[in-house]
Structure 1
Amino acid sequence: MQIHFHIIGILLVTLAFVHLIFPKYFKWKEDLKPLTLINRQMMTVHTFFIALVVFLMGLLCLTSSSDLVETKLGKTISLGLAIFWSLRLLTQFFGYSAKLWKGKAFETVVHIFFTGLWIYLSLIFWMNYLR
């Protein structure tokens, strides 16, 4: 199980850093211009904090895998992370319109990749909690 936590740690740290390209890739400077100042800044601030939390989850998995597997607190943390990533998996299908990816090769690959990632994260954290 610990090897899975190390893999997850690497994946989550990488995902956190991917958030750095969001503003430029999604053209936030132009696309968010019509929004009020508070809404523009909320997008930036919330993206930063999402990336920070994902980074910290990754560090936890990399540095404390044995604690996550062997302690009651680790199991409880795994339960919280299992719920978090399971909800993120559901959001993949019910929070985003299929119009964003259907019929678009790159977007479909990204959708499938992240669906697989959310499934993997959910399963590992549920398995750790339940065993």
Structure 2
Amino acid sequence: MPVEKTIIFVCAMYCLALAIFHAMFWKLFKWEKDLASLTSANRAIIQILNCRLIYFFLFAAAICILYPVELYTTKLGKAFLSGMSIFWLGRTIEQFIFLRVNSKVVHLLTLVFFIGAVLFILPVFLSNT
């Protein structure tokens, strides 16, 4: 199996893990209690955005599982992988802008986001097509 295909499978598992993590936000962050202090619009926006992220991560995982060869051999696939890498690089940078917390968990998440950026760009650079 080409290394690109293996990395893209890891990308799929990465996205699946992030989808599961986001699905746990309601309990992890006690959203029922914490979001109650927000306006109904802001409460809805946060939950809707989280639901859309869960969908996006599941969609990205499905694309990686169903079309791995197309992802590293076509211009469209490489654009998708590059876009996903930029998504995770942006998320890494946003940690430093919006979540300035000196915490091991926050630092670990920052590393996880950076790993996502690297994982998604690797098949683009490794492919010969």
| 1:21 CA displacement | 1.6
1 or 2 for the larger relative contact order (CA 8 Å, sep ≥6)?
2
TM normalised by structure 2 equals: 0.84
CA deviation profile, 1:52-72 (whole Å, cap 9, x unmatched)? 101111111122111111111
| 1:125 CA displacement | 2.5
Q: What does residue 61 of structure 2 align with?
A: 58
Q: What does residue 31 of structure 1 align with?
A: 34
- 5+ long unaligned stretches in structure 2: none
TM normalised by structure 1 equals: 0.83
Following superposition, which runs of at least 4 residues in structure 1 exceed 4 angstroms of deviation?
Answer: none
Q: What does residue 105 of structure 1 align with?
A: none
Aligned equivalents of 2:28, 2:93: Cα separation in 1: 24
Output the aligned Cα RMSD: 1.7
| 1:46 CA displacement | 0.8
- 5+ long unaligned stretches in structure 1: 102-107
- Count of matched residue positions in the alignment of Structure 1 and Structure 2: 123
Q: Secondary structure at the match of 2:24?
A: helix
Alignment of 1:82-121 (within 5 A): 82-99=85-102, 101=103, 108=104, 110-121=105-116
Identity %: 25
